[in-house]
Amino acid sequence: MTHTIQPDNPEVTPAPDAADLPVFTGSAPKPATTGVPAALKRRIPKYSDLAPLMQFKKPEFSKEARLKRASTIWDLRDMAKRRTPQAPFDYTDGAAEGEITLRRAREAFLDIEFRPGILRNVSSVDLSTDILGKPSRLPLGIAPTGFTRMMQSEGEYAGSQAAEAAGIPYTLSTMGTASIEDVAAAAPNGRNWFQLYLWTDRDRSLELIERAAKAGNDTLMVTVDTAVAGARLRDVRNGMTIPPALTVKTVLDASYRPAWWFNFLTHEPLTFASLSRYTGTVADLINSMFDPTLTFEDLDWLRETWKGKLVVKGIQTVEDARKVVAHGADGVVLSNHGGRQLDRAPIPFHLLPGVKEAFTKDNSDAAIMLDTGIMSGADIIAALALGADFTLIGRAYLYGLMAGGRAGVDRTLQILEKDMARTMALLGVNKISELTPNHVRLLN
């Protein structure tokens, strides 16, 4: 008899002799035999089976078909880059210095976790809201952007008309390339706002304010984060000037983007519609015209002068948010100018909860708006959940504009609307007012 010893057990256990094992005298069981399902039998495919699968689509090369293939704002950005010369594209896409602020702003929206509720009836989702005393069909508006017709020849006209069709506000910049009056005429039923840079020449500023009021703008948005121009290095490297200069480099660039240059050269020359004709770099313009001596007393002057809603854009601390409201602002825009002024500036999305808490303690009903870094409808819903009343999009809308003019801006808004509705439904929320901080958790 042999023995086996377990490695961890010193006891000896006798192994059975072969003679002690039972003898099996029957036959081995046979595997069960069943019929092979007809669906799994090999066969030669019939044409009638293949015909429904062979539905090859006819290639579509129209602008509408191209834009329809865009599912995200990033898709529109890719299209914009292919269709736009480097200098205007980089002016839109770039930021100050090392572009750290812009990257952090976009990462801020990625570093969250949604907390969905289940078993809610979300067969209907309502994205409408009120902002500054009037309704908006969506919780976003178009932010002020300068030199917009440089990005694509339809410029501010495309933006204002798309906003009018979508039932959302449109903000015209002091640095716009369409006049206050022309935008009002292009979108007569739209809700038009005007963004103001205060100049050293107060009479010029007052003239713009009066023109905005006469044209029916109900909100004045004063930008306060441009005491001096930021170091936008892409513009420096591209030799960016207003209007764009024809150099050997730009001519070569044009050979790949003939449609942009055709539109640029066959439409009205690019000028600042609210300013005198200017030729030079963007930074030189800002440094020569904008007032670095602005104080809260100037905000008091604006409050006395402007009778409509007054919003201050460029708020980057809780303390300043509270202070501008104390000086008469009806709303604030938490913004670092899209990362285009001070690099390593505070991120609006991170600032948002603190401002909301402060306004709640102050019993303030001032509107909290937010921009910078928004690239999806989910970003917008996250901002609303954390306390924003409204959001503004700049680059996202310009990518659509460069990708396809007015139709591209429409596509931007369609993508964001679909994103927002889907995100709301998956969170188990029917209305904007039902969003709370409990729906979002900051991971960092």
Would you give per-residue pLDDT tens digits along the chain (444 residues)? 444 444 454 444 455 554 555 554 555 566 555 678 887 888 888 877 777 777 777 777 688 889 999 999 999 999 999 999 988 899 999 999 999 999 999 999 999 999 999 999 999 999 999 999 999 999 999 999 998 998 999 999 999 999 999 999 999 999 899 999 999 999 999 999 999 998 877 888 899 999 999 999 999 999 999 888 888 888 888 877 655 665 667 667 767 788 887 888 788 876 766 655 445 566 666 666 677 888 999 999 999 999 999 999 999 999 999 999 999 999 999 999 999 999 999 999 999 999 999 999 999 999 999 999 999 999 999 999 999 999 999 999 999 999 999 999 999 999 999 999 999 999 999 999 999 999 999 997
In-domain check, residue 15: no
Q: How far apart are CA 25 and CA 77, in angstroms?
A: 78
What's residue 205's pLDDT? 87
**Is the Cβ–Cβ distance between 302 and 310 less than 8 Å?**
yes
In-domain check, residue 64: no
Could you give the number of structural domains in the chain?
1
Q: Sort 72 into a burial class: Cβ within 10 Å, 0-12 / 13-18 / 19+.
A: middle
Catalytic (active site) residue 337: yes
**Is the Cβ–Cβ distance between 175 and 197 less than 8 Å?**
yes
In-domain check, residue 61: no
In-domain check, residue 91: yes
**Is the Cβ–Cβ distance between 227 and 290 less than 8 Å?**
yes
Q: Sort 284 into a burial class: Cβ within 10 Å, 0-12 / 13-18 / 19+.
A: middle
Closest CA to 393 of 413, 371, 419: 371
Q: How far apart are CA 412 and CA 80, in angstroms?
A: 12
In-domain check, residue 202: yes
In-domain check, residue 37: no
Provide the token pair at 420. 């927002």
Q: How far apart are CA 273 and CA 146, in angstroms?
A: 11
Q: How far apart are CA 156 and CA 177, in angstroms?
A: 7
In-domain check, residue 29: no
- Note down the domain range covering 101: 72-438
What's residue 55's pLDDT? 74
DSSP category for residue 390: E
In-domain check, residue 394: yes
Q: How far apart are CA 239 and CA 248, in angstroms?
A: 12
Catalytic residue from among 3, 267, 327, 337: 337
Residue 126 sits in a domain whose CATH number is 3.20.20.70
**Is the Cβ–Cβ distance between 429 and 122 less than 8 Å?**
yes
